[in-house]
Chains A and B, each alone.
Chain A
Amino acid sequence: MLKDIFTKTKKKKYATIPSETAKQDVPEGIMTKCPNCKKIMYTKELVKNLKVCFHCQYHHTMNSKERLESFLDASSFEEINANMISENPLNFPDYIEKLEKDREKTKINEAVVTGTGTVNGQKIAVAVMDSTFRMGSMGSVVGEKITRAIEKADELGVPFIIFTASGGARMQEGVLSLMQMAKTSVALKRFSDNGGLIISIMTHPTTGGVSASFASLGDYNLAEPGALIGFAGRRIIEQTIREELPEDFQTAEFLLKHGQLDAVIPRTELKDKISAILSIHQPGGDFQWQEN
């Protein structure tokens, strides 16, 4: 109303106190605040740097789409089994609704995206877990899609690369989730016995049933800096042993120190390092093996 423009009582009577969330939040989209060092930076710049903080090297969560775009050669990705979705085998209350909500939120159908693509021209089968969908938890669909991706790698005779990000087995599918650990491991063994190359890259977080199956079964087990990796939850361990755990417990660096990983590789170097590993698995040079 025209009248409102000319009102004289513009002064606010009360001071507004920004809420806790508002204090944390920077207008979404344009700027991003690093949860580690609290510094604020342009989102566009951050994404260009593969979501690695310029100031403290903190690796922000990447979803499956961002991961595939950053890791594979442009438009080389061909997805398989994209439309596979979960059932509700235990008739768990609210499970279907939760899945639908996450599908809506993430625009993917399950917590893993699988397919084929190329890394600096070298063809691979790939599975990328997505922690934004049900915490990346593994139920029947995640197990089946990963298994099928391994079978695809076997069929094409190409390496299998998996990016893990998961809170573990999915409670709502009970023992069927547990059995996916066996399913995927059995498939990896067959692929491995056929000479297949397996590279596992553990990203934040990789815990529980996922860390105790395919994540740990690479010919090369790698991890991103700072990633939480472990079998049992920190809180459960502290309750069990009744002592405080070291600060770096169950981080990628902790695992490296204890001999559980081949290397911890910053995201910005990941593509080139993996590409080099892949290339070492190709025959080369002016040498000839003696055939039997």
Chain B
Amino acid sequence: MAGELEFERPVMELKKKIAELKEFTKTADVDLSSEIEKLEARLEKLETDIYENMKPWDRVQIARHPARPTTQDYISYLFEDFFECHGDRAFGDDEAIVGGIAKFRGLPVTVIGHQRGKDTKENIRRNFGMPHPEGYRKALRLMKQADKFRRPIICFIDTKGAYPGKAAEERGQSEAIAKNLFEMASLRVPVICIVIGEGGSGGALALGVGNHIHMLENSTYSVISPEGAAAILWKDATQAKKAAESMRITAPDLKELGVVDEIIEEVKGGAHKDVKVQAAEIGEVLYQSLKDLMNLSEDQLIDHRYNKFKSIGEYSFLKEFIGVK
């Protein structure tokens, strides 16, 4: 199978063997059904063993899988009448972020998300899902529009990070991200963020100031890529695997650290194995999230977001007072 990952190779090999045997029994006059049954039982056990004991680095591989469903895939399954809106009204249209209006089970909503490409050509057009300032400014424009028309906002997070380029710096990458964090704080509508792939640093957070933050089981969310962390901490980018383990970037880690609300279960082996089923799974969590948040008034929603972020972080106090004075 194309795009198989290293850690799941035993599963793939066994699957291939079973398929071969089945093919063989069809043509030859031998009954191998008991052997096949045995192998299938072994396969099931192997799958459970491998997919339920995934290491952080395995999850990173799944989160980065070229076939991993993107924002647009989920939009097509989850929403009706999606109408895409383009442009930041100041500089251009950044295709690394898609956004627009739609209905979710009848409810008008605004949907925004990072957008990777499916192939090289599309990836170049979408800059591999790494936005420039105009992408964030487009997102903010759509959020303010949602606020005006009182539509809940759903953000899909899936980026390696904000694009590190000359033009991005010149046009104020920092300011664009900062402004999103700032303005999202006072939106009077529910904001629900779902990390579907890689949540890369500030570029991800700029769509991430939500009342609820959910993560797909095999997605990651971190302050820096494992490669970047390894380069800084150990001056060696090849230690990414070790960094992935010590940086605590997986969904269960973030749940434990109090950042994430719900972990959305994935199809065995990763979301790319069955987009439709995965979308349905996301739909259920989204539905419940909306139900919960729509019980809150405008002010309560703003307070809810304030308190959510205020509570993140770990610190303590020294007994004796030592100041600069």
Task: Tell me, rounded to whole Å, the shortest Cβ–Cβ distance linking A205 to chain B.
Answer: 13
A242 vs B2: C-alpha distance when bound (angstroms): 32
Q: In the complex, what residues of A have CB within 8 A of residue B209's CB?
A: 182, 185-186
Q: Is B313 an interface residue (CB 8 A)?
A: yes
**B162 to A, closest residue via Cβ:** A231
Interface residues of A in 199-235 (CB under 8 A from B): 208-209, 211-217, 229-233
Checking B183, B319, B324 against A79 with a beta-carbon cut-off of 8 angstroms, the contacting residue is B324
Question: Which of B248, B249, B253, B321 is most buried by chain A, counting CB atoms within 10 A of its CB?
Answer: B248
Mask of B7-26 contacts with A, CB within 8 angstroms, 1/0? 00000000000000000000
> Is A7 interfacial (CB-CB < 8 Å)?
no
9-residue interface stretch from A83-91, A155-163, A266-274: A83-91
Q: Does B275 sit at the interface, judged by CB under 8 A? A: no
How many chain A residues sit at the interface, stated as a range, is 35 or more
- Whether the pair B202, A231 counts as a contact (CB closer than 8 A) is yes
Chain B residues near A32 (CB-CB < 8 A): none
Q: Is the CB of B309 within 8 A of A183?
A: yes
Q: How far is the CA of A74 from the CA of B187 in the complex (A)?
A: 41
Rounded to whole Å, the gap between the CB of A155 and the closest CB of chain B is: 15
- Compute how far the CA of A237 lies from the CA of B171 in the bound complex, rounded to whole angstroms: 14
Q: Assuming A82-B323, A144-B315, is B223 touching A249 (CB within 8 A)?
A: no
Contact partners of A109 in chain B: CB under 8 A: 318, 322
Q: Mark B160-195, 1 if CB is under 8 A from A, else 0.
A: 001111101111111101110111011000000000
Inter-subunit contact A193/B186 (CB<8 Å): yes
With A185-B182, A186-B185 known as contacts, the answer to whether A245 contacts B166 (CB < 8 A) is yes
Provide the residues of chain B in CB contact with A90, threshold 8 Å. 246-248
- A175 x B249 contact (CB < 8 A): yes
Interface residue? A77 (CB, 8 A): yes
A144-164: CB near B (< 8 Å → 1, else 0) gives 100100000000000000000
B302: which A residues are within 8 A, CB to CB?
A: 190
**B171 → A minimal CB distance (Å):** 7
A90-B248, A140-B313 given; A178·B223 CB < 8 A: yes
User: Residues of B contacting A215 with CB < 8 Å?
Assistant: 174, 178
B208 interfacial contact with A, CB 8 Å = yes
- Taking a contact as CB atoms under 8 Å apart, the answer to whether B322 and A232 are in contact is no
Chain A residues contacting B315 (CB-CB under 8 Å) are 84-87, 140-141, 144
Bound-complex Cα distance A249 to B167 (A): 11
A10 within 8 A of B: no
Shortest Cβ distance from residue B55 to the other chain A in the assembled complex, whole angstroms: 16
Minimal beta-carbon separation of B25 from chain A (angstroms) = 51
Contact B249 A249 (CB under 8 A): no
For residue B306, CB closer than 8 A to chain A, the reply is yes
Asked if B259 lies at the interface with its beta carbon under 8 angstroms from chain A, I say yes
Does any Cβ of B come within 8 Å of A101's Cβ? no
User: Chain B residue with minimal CB distance to A103?
Assistant: B322
Residue of B nearest to A180 (CB): B313
**B324 and A144 within 8 A (CB):** no
Top 10 closest A-B pairs, CB basis?
A: A232-B164, A140-B313, A185-B181, A189-B185, A216-B178, A186-B185, A211-B174, A82-B323, A83-B318, A212-B177
- Residues of A that sit less than 8 Å from B by CB: 64-65, 68, 77, 79, 82-87, 89-90, 92-93, 107-109, 113, 139-141, 143-144, 147, 169, 171, 173-183, 185-190, 192-193, 208-209, 211-217, 229-233, 236-237, 240-241, 243, 245, 249-250, 258-260
**Seed contacts A141-B313, A216-B178, A243-B166; 4 additional CB < 8 Å A-B pairs:** A77-B324, A175-B223, A185-B178, A233-B164
Selected A-B contacts with CB under 8 Å, 25 pairs: A85-B315, A86-B314, A107-B324, A113-B324, A171-B224, A175-B223, A175-B254, A175-B259, A180-B312, A181-B202, A186-B182, A189-B183, A189-B186, A192-B182, A209-B223, A212-B177, A216-B179, A217-B178, A231-B162, A231-B173, A232-B168, A233-B164, A237-B164, A249-B169, A258-B172
Chain B residues engaging chain A, CB cutoff 8 angstroms: 162-166, 168-175, 177-179, 181-183, 185-186, 201-202, 205-206, 208-209, 221-224, 229, 232-233, 246-249, 253-254, 257, 259, 302, 305-306, 309-310, 312-325
